[in-house]
Chains A and B, each alone.
Chain A
């Protein structure tokens, strides 16, 4: 059973701070890694994708991937109250035909 693990939180940060979200995965054959944001009762919305080791930046978001350690992270700089949501880490399988999701980390940004 392939696993994707996240700390469920809640992670509480003040407005303007950096939020750091982490994820570990078990399938060494995974090649594609995604961070989705999910508001309560809504569908997952893509934040970032990352495919190779290192950092990838997009605006206030930076994804980091370390395949040797089987670790993916998401940094959110200058956190805003509107960033308050559940952040889902998703990892593909060896065949690239499905995603396994972690349970999500609930982020709360306090004004």
Chain B
């Protein structure tokens, strides 16, 4: 069964450093998403991406964040200058259409020191 994959599974970085989180969505899916979950808190929406552009973003997704689909398979989330409060689990998800089920990857646990 096709799955969303994410790399790395864990990342430790210093405050102020740039990080890139990578995702490979399910191959025939057209809609891509990033969510994050701070330990013990809700899953929070960051951004959705369709047809090579952002279709929705949350207040969390400020100028420090960017997304890109650099080729036909990868979908990346970049955090330009990490803050302590960016420490969280970051989930990538993909869906065939905008209203259908979003399938989640295993997540990248980011720790900012």
Contact = CB atoms under 8 A, between A and B. Distances in A.
Interface of A: 31-32, 34, 36, 42-46, 49, 51, 88, 90, 92-93, 95-104
Query: Which of under 10, 10 to 19, 20 to 34, or 35 or more describes the interface residues of B?
Result: 20 to 34
A42 B42 contact: no
Contacts of A93: 56
B99 A43 contact: no
Given A43-B91, A44-B91, A98 B48 contact: yes
B45 A98 contact: yes
26 contacts: A31-B99, A34-B102, A42-B106, A43-B91, A43-B104, A43-B105, A43-B106, A44-B104, A46-B103, A49-B100, A49-B101, A96-B98, A96-B99, A97-B31, A97-B48, A97-B55, A97-B56, A97-B98, A98-B58, A99-B45, A100-B45, A101-B42, A101-B43, A101-B45, A103-B41, A103-B42
